Amino acid sequence: MTSRGGGRVNCPCKYNFDDGKKVTPRRDVPNYPKYTLSQETIEALKKPTFDVWHWEHNEMLSCLEYMYHDLGLVKEFNMNPITLKRWLLAIQENYRNNPFHNFRHCFCVSQMMYGMIHLCNLQEKLTLTDMGILMTAAVCHDLDHPGYNNTYQINARTELAVRYNDISPLENHHCAVAFQILSLPECNIFANVDPEAFKQIRQAIITLILATDMARHGEILDSFKQKVDNFDFTNEEHVTCLKMVLIKCCDISNEVRPTEVAEPWVDCLLEEYFMQSDREKSEGLPVAPFMDRDKVTKPTAQIGFIKFVLIPMFETVMKLFPQIEEIMVQPLRDSRDHYEELKQIDDAMTEMRRSMSLSCLNHNYTATYSSYLA
């Protein structure tokens, strides 16, 4: 990227929409190893406790492939199984190697969506088309994420911010990349869907990916709160709102997972935040305190987010699906308590260091004064 002096910063992405080139997977299906998932893995995939750190990319691809078959999506959309494999390869290769927004995050979000579909018995309440929309939006939701958030894009006047008029530039880009991949015949998992049906599926996927912009969090959650007490699964507007909230839950669900799975993600996120804030400082752009390595700690980064974003949203979903309390909401409460304890320890250590510093200063002053009197 160039410096800011001469105008907007270029935030390069893998796609150049102006030159007509399309990116295809570097590996083709014959080189895509075939994994047979054990029954233990198949059962674990349905649960939020699934440990996403134990899997290589090819294994995650196999798990995603299994989810599409298991949910009946391959049959429902008459997908060519080889096309599904090629599509998943293209998806994986169009996630960048960012500390946080990478293919493992994509898998995390998709696996949590698959888990919520099972936990909430959504197969009994929503259509198979809805299932396909939820899973595909989850898989595609952060495609080609550059590792710098919307605030940076807008403040630095990047190419993406200019292209999308400062309106959810990243989420719009993720959508565009998703459908550029689907425009490749060899990667089009919806090739056998009626054109009018595909048009509706496309619009629904776009709606869900755009809903992951946290700038819209309050608006979307408030809308769901107004519907949840009298929720109607036959009301299209209600169902769309639910799907938006579900993808939001899955996108930021790491703290639902066991501590040993969740905590490394905090380190990854802070690493990405610090990369951005260092860059913002060097370019003279505003820096958010929660991204500043000189101001934020792991506990302070998490406590407010868990208390004021995660728990209220998941507790609202719990009104519709009470079964998520034990396996999803309680872990969030436990995580909040864990980080509050860590903050108390940090605060105590800071106070102790301050007291020791004052004591040393006082001792030095007394010794100097005594020496002077002598």
Is residue 101 annotated as part of the catalytic site, yes or no?
A: yes
| Active-site annotation holder among 54, 57, 69, 101 | 101
Distance CA 258, CA 332 (A): 10
Q: What is the pLDDT of residues 2-34, one digit of tens each?
A: 333 334 344 444 444 443 444 666 666 655 566
Q: How confident is the model at residue 57 (pLDDT cuts 50, 70, 90)?
A: very high
Distance in Å from the first CA to the final CA of the chain: 64
Would the annotation count 28 as a binding residue?
no
Look at residue 33 in the predicted model and tell me its pLDDT: 62
Look at residue 15 in the predicted model and tell me its pLDDT: 47
Look at residue 366 in the predicted model and tell me its pLDDT: 55
Tell me what percent of the residues of the chain surpass a pLDDT of 70: 86
Would the annotation count 97 as a binding residue?
no
Task: Report the mean per-residue pLDDT for the chain.
Answer: 90
Look at residue 3 in the predicted model and tell me its pLDDT: 38
Look at residue 1 in the predicted model and tell me its pLDDT: 39
Choose between 372 and 160: higher pLDDT: 160
Would the annotation count 8 as a binding residue?
no
> Which residue is listed with tokens 């009298």?
230
Look at residue 353 in the predicted model and tell me its pLDDT: 74
Q: How confident is the model at residue 369 (pLDDT cuts 50, 70, 90)?
A: very low
Would the annotation count 194 as a binding residue?
no
Look at residue 35 in the predicted model and tell me its pLDDT: 73
Would the annotation count 101 as a binding residue?
yes
Q: Is 331 helix (H, G, I), strand (E, B) or coil?
A: helix
Would the annotation count 102 as a binding residue?
yes
Domain 29-334: which CATH number of 1.10.3720.10, 3.40.250.10, 3.40.50.20, 1.10.1300.10? 1.10.1300.10
Would the annotation count 174 as a binding residue?
no
Q: What is the pLDDT of residues 198-241, one digit of tens each?
A: 999 999 999 999 999 999 999 999 999 999 999 999 999 999 99
Predicted TM-score of the model (pTM): 0.89
Tell me what percent of the residues of the chain surpass a pLDDT of 90: 83
Q: Label residues 289-315 b or e (16+ Cβ within 10 Å = b).
A: eebbeeebebbbbbbebbeebbbebbe
Asked if 251 and 212 count as a contact pair (C-beta separation under 8 A), the reply is: yes
Residue 327 has pLDDT above 70, yes or no: yes
Q: Positive or negative, the Cα torsion across 147, 151, 156, 157?
A: positive
Q: What is the pLDDT of residues 95-149, one digit of tens each?
A: 999 999 999 999 999 999 999 999 999 999 999 999 999 999 999 999 999 999 9
Look at residue 8 in the predicted model and tell me its pLDDT: 37
Asked if 100 and 152 count as a contact pair (C-beta separation under 8 A), the reply is: no
Residue 267 has pLDDT above 70, yes or no: yes
Choose between 69 and 355: higher pLDDT: 69
Would the annotation count 104 as a binding residue?
yes
Residue 85 has pLDDT above 90, yes or no: yes
Q: Where are the domains of the chain?
A: 29-334
Look at residue 350 in the predicted model and tell me its pLDDT: 75
Full DSSP string of 115-156: HHHHHTTGGGTS-HHHHHHHHHHHHHTTTT--SS-HHHHHHT
Would the annotation count 141 as a binding residue?
yes
Number of CB atoms found within 10 A of residue 106's CB: 23
